Structure 1
Amino acid sequence: MAEFIESKLEIVMFPWLAFGHLIPFMNLSNELAKRGHNITFLLPKNAETRLQKLNLYPNLIKFHKLIIPHVDGLPYGAETTADVPGPLESLLATAFDELYDEIKSILQNLKPHFVFFDFAYWIPDLAKEIGGIKTLIYLLISPAALCKSTDKATFMTSTAAELVKPPPGYPSTTVVLHESEAKLLSFVYQEYGKGVTFQERLDKALTRCDVIAAKTCREIEGIFCEYIANLLEKPVIYTGPVIPEPKKEQHELSNWLEKFEPGSVVFCAFGSQLILEKEQFQQLVLGFELTELPFLLVVKPPQGTNSVEEALPEGFKQRIQEKGLILDCWVPQLEVLRHKSVGCFVTHCGYGSMWESLVLCDCQLVLLPRPIDHIFTARLMGQHLKVGVEVEKDENDMFTKENLCKAVKCVMDKDNQIGCLVKENHRKWKELLSSPGFMSNYIDNFIQDLHGLVVENS
């Protein structure tokens, strides 16, 4: 057994066509290759340039470029979600599924030990047809967001009511949605690819795969992972947070941040895909103005506008001057979070941002979730772990400038009891998660789990 554990695994990575999926799969690939395992990474040809920069082990991680089929209605050359507006993602999913024959040929030729996937719900059946290949779905959202149905056959939530009132056995009363938020779930019942809904895509992937891997740790989400494992009667294994080491060189925003006192800047980032309504964008910037603190905002132009600048409230730019900086381009989030001038992080609660904020920074956290899975992450951070303060919203899931300002001031006021509590909780979790060997032990144990599954298959 010891000799087998030392053998090298052959793994195929096949993530969904979004950089928010491609990059975490790449980070995990680096950790596996670091320990000598061979990776074949399937990706759109136009994504190779960006991913190549992240490939730390090119001798072990080989890119296989896919030509994404054209589907009527998609812009020509569209290969990732960055190339299409949200309403066209379903067509991109159709193109993704049309890769079936090419993926079948690749797997038949490579005969890997494992295929790691997420949205390609047809991978488990394809692997079984070929034979000898284990399939692993890599979860890039909080497991708490999947713990909603008591019916194994339909794992995702079937009614909005289940989100408001958790089913018997659900392990937490804090990670739930409000009634107004539950209505937002309707998108999972819409078509996401030809003849399949988003819900069905995840249901089939989760129920038919051999193993579920969660980008988390037992200490934080173990109760949710155990619930999933019992419900679906299959192993759920942990990779840990899998966060790459931040770069140490100076970034171009450093000079701007250096103008301000340590811990005084509010940094807000909403990810590469999220686009706010114009009214919410204006409430956001006016809320920062109300705090009277310096701020750095990274956000896409709001819906119906061509630029961030044209969407600003009248007179806003003149009032703020050098105290606020608004960008609509990519910034090195990790490096910004670790800058000494940054004292507060207003986050949309993307799962990757959650881990970066918990593990790598000392900032106070203000939670402003938008998409549905991010709301679960916000509840996990705000109510379950108590490491941040969530911005209050109305019955239509809208926030005001006053409520945003209130949340920021709550955590930034050194004498505020709630602010002190979340800061202390954040400190304790960071101390654990960043302790020597914590993340590497998770990867080592993850690899042992994979070997155990291969032995079971032989």
Structure 2
Amino acid sequence: MGKSGGSKLNVAVFPWVAYGHFIPFLHLSNKLAQKGHKISFLLPKGVKPKLESLNQYPSLIQFFPLVLPRIDGLPPGAETTSVVPLNQQKHLAFAVDQTRDQVESIFKVTKPDIVLYDFWFWIPDLARQLGIRPILYGVVSSMSMAFNTKVVTNETTAEEVIELPPGYPSSTVRFKAEEAPIVLFKAKDFGSGLTFYQRIKTTLTESDAIAFRTCREIEEPFCDYVAKEFGKPVLLSGPCFPETKTEQLDEKWVNWLSQFESNSVVFCSFGSQSELQKDEFQEMVLGFESCGLPFLVALKPPQGCLTVEEALPEGFEERVKGRGLVYGGWVPQELLLHHPNIGCFVNHCGYGTMWEFLLTDCQIVLIPEIGDQILNTRLMVNELKIGVEVERAKTRRVSKESLSEAIKFVMDKDNKTANMLRANHSKLKQTLSSRNLQEEYVNTFIQALQDLVK
């Protein structure tokens, strides 16, 4: 069990309604429960069955389902971002905001000492009325949080996004003009009469402390910046990697991968929310074809197509037979990444995926799509120097040539820069996979929570 020290905590957790938030909140809940602390986990009713298998301590972690009201503009039964496009997520946020009475009833029954939350701007006010300490738990990089809340305001123009303000702890984060509008998504309405930016800003300024799923080894200057700018304690939970699974990779993947040499296969996966246009999809698969290496590409069918097969360029399947596979279903990303024959991982640099690839030996090629992914990518490429970002045209399109070049560059065993990236990644992996590192972070995190409720 490890040392836990101090009194046992009663913690409520209430993540944003996306699997990229539910899962890290549940990983943290497991770490807290492992030390004997009690967790009330609030989530939409339909999500509960999907997360139960990840609850390692059902006697200490209890799920509390919320019933989301019907909202105009929201598809019937929609409860998470995986079924709601980005431009409609304001309706989803508004629906969850309407559950305040349900949340209050749950808190009155469970009587938590602390609530860990992320997007719910109204939680601090409710928590204080009930004598609960509100703590924001960010499952995005502190670099991204620092940027979004201190750099982007409602009045920010694209020109200002390109120029960082004095004091921002990175001279290497640079934005091209065409990226600024993506970052400025923050200025759009995000439900309950708030912009995305105002929602996040309120959750930060109203919290008693700000916690992050990160560690100083990766983001120290950004954590210090957030603490200084907001004048609050910043607590770090560490990466909260789940306990090593004994799950085995399915035989069909093992058989397919076994045809190739060690570290030779390029694997591509873009997360559950990404949906490409058909022409983008075709350009991308042609990039994998022209890199000349074996590849496994796991992407959702592009817009307007029911299957990936119908979207493939003419003659593609015949040309890559025996070398390349494009798959439209779900794949066990984490298990695939640890297969010895996978040598390169092309991805969008979502925060959860980032932690997964940090623990692998793969070379990293990044194609970020939205704001925080762009910041995570700059952290990996410019600050930590462990991967490369694919060059994009001014239109933000990725050409088959630029994708192919990036893959060939990192996979070139004789390239000094590629070898430096590999060495940096290997060193960081070694640091992060130390059991003591995670244990120390969790113990320090719990101690900080206990100090807050004394």
Q: Look up the match of 1:183.
A: 181
Q: Look up the match of 2:44.
A: 44
The alpha carbon displacement at 1:209 in A equals 0.8
After TM superposition, the score normalised by the length of structure 2 is: 0.95
The farther-off stretch of 327-336 and 241-250 is 241-250
Q: Is 2:146 the counterpart of 1:147? A: yes
- Write the letter of the residue equivalent to 2:193: G
The 8 Å contact of residues 148 and 157 in structure 1, kept in 2 or not, is answered as no
- Write the letter of the residue equivalent to 2:208: D
The alpha carbon displacement at 1:126 in A equals 1.2
* Cα distance in 1 for residues equivalent to 2:450 and 2:295: 48
The alpha carbon displacement at 1:219 in A equals 1.5
The 8 Å contact of residues 124 and 209 in structure 1, kept in 2 or not, is answered as yes
Q: What residue ranges of structure 1 are gaps of 5+ in the alignment?
A: none
Correspondent of 1:236 among 213, 234, 237: 234
The alpha carbon displacement at 1:372 in A equals 1.2
The 8 Å contact of residues 367 and 391 in structure 1, kept in 2 or not, is answered as yes
The alpha carbon displacement at 1:185 in A equals 2.3
Q: Look up the match of 2:403.
A: 404
- Write the letter of the residue equivalent to 1:322: G
* Cα distance in 1 for residues equivalent to 2:179 and 2:54: 36
SS at match of 1:43: strand
The 8 Å contact of residues 4 and 443 in structure 2, kept in 1 or not, is answered as no
The 8 Å contact of residues 163 and 176 in structure 1, kept in 2 or not, is answered as no
* Cα distance in 1 for residues equivalent to 2:147 and 2:294: 40
The alpha carbon displacement at 1:155 in A equals 6.6
Q: Look up the match of 2:313.
A: 313
SS at match of 2:147: coil
The alpha carbon displacement at 1:6 in A equals 2.4
User: CA 1:412–1:187 in structure 2 vs 1: closer, same or farther (change >3 Å)?
Assistant: same
User: CA 1:149–1:324 in structure 2 vs 1: closer, same or farther (change >3 Å)?
Assistant: closer
The alpha carbon displacement at 1:186 in A equals 3.3
SS at match of 2:385: coil
Q: Look up the match of 2:67.
A: 67
SS at match of 1:322: coil
Cα displacement string for residues 55-78 of structure 1 (whole angstroms, at most 9, x for unaligned residues):
000000001111111112222211
The alpha carbon displacement at 1:382 in A equals 0.5
SS at match of 2:54: coil
User: CA 1:239–1:389 in structure 2 vs 1: closer, same or farther (change >3 Å)?
Assistant: same
* Cα distance in 2 for residues equivalent to 1:156 and 1:243: 35
Q: What pairs up with 1:249-260 in 2 under 5 angstroms?
A: 249-252=247-250, 253-260=253-260
The alpha carbon displacement at 1:148 in A equals 3.3
Q: Look up the match of 1:93.
A: 93
- Write the letter of the residue equivalent to 1:296: L
Cα displacement string for residues 255-306 of structure 1 (whole angstroms, at most 9, x for unaligned residues):
2111211111001110011112222211210110011111111111112322
The alpha carbon displacement at 1:151 in A equals 5.9
Cα displacement string for residues 376-429 of structure 1 (whole angstroms, at most 9, x for unaligned residues):
000000011000011111112221111111111111010011111100100111
Correspondent of 1:209 among 207, 210, 231: 207
The 8 Å contact of residues 37 and 60 in structure 2, kept in 1 or not, is answered as yes
- Write the letter of the residue equivalent to 2:18: A
Q: Look up the match of 1:453.
A: 452
SS at match of 1:78: coil
Cα displacement string for residues 154-189 of structure 1 (whole angstroms, at most 9, x for unaligned residues):
878833333211101111111232221112223211
- Write the letter of the residue equivalent to 1:51: L
User: CA 1:128–1:384 in structure 2 vs 1: closer, same or farther (change >3 Å)?
Assistant: same
The alpha carbon displacement at 1:18 in A equals 1.1
The alpha carbon displacement at 1:124 in A equals 0.6
SS at match of 1:182: helix
Q: What pairs up with 1:17-416 in 2 under 5 angstroms?
A: 17-130=17-130, 132-148=131-147, 158-252=156-250, 253-358=253-358, 360-416=359-415
Cα displacement string for residues 433-458 of structure 1 (whole angstroms, at most 9, x for unaligned residues):
11231111111111111111112xxx
SS at match of 1:357: helix
* Cα distance in 2 for residues equivalent to 1:203 and 1:262: 47
* Cα distance in 2 for residues equivalent to 1:201 and 1:309: 41
Q: Percent identity?
A: 49
* Cα distance in 1 for residues equivalent to 2:75 and 2:397: 32
- Write the letter of the residue equivalent to 2:434: S
SS at match of 1:266: strand
The alpha carbon displacement at 1:150 in A equals 8.7
SS at match of 1:17: coil
The farther-off stretch of 39-48 and 252-261 is 252-261
The alpha carbon displacement at 1:138 in A equals 1.2
Q: What residue ranges of structure 2 are gaps of 5+ in the alignment?
A: none
The alpha carbon displacement at 1:310 in A equals 1.7
* Cα distance in 2 for residues equivalent to 1:324 and 1:120: 44
After TM superposition, the score normalised by the length of structure 1 is: 0.94
The 8 Å contact of residues 189 and 198 in structure 1, kept in 2 or not, is answered as yes
The 8 Å contact of residues 149 and 201 in structure 2, kept in 1 or not, is answered as no
Q: Is 2:40 the counterpart of 1:10? A: no
SS at match of 1:138: strand
SS at match of 1:288: helix
* Cα distance in 1 for residues equivalent to 2:243 and 2:267: 20
Aligned length: 450
- Write the letter of the residue equivalent to 2:379: L
The 8 Å contact of residues 155 and 203 in structure 1, kept in 2 or not, is answered as no
The alpha carbon displacement at 1:111 in A equals 2.1
SS at match of 1:147: helix
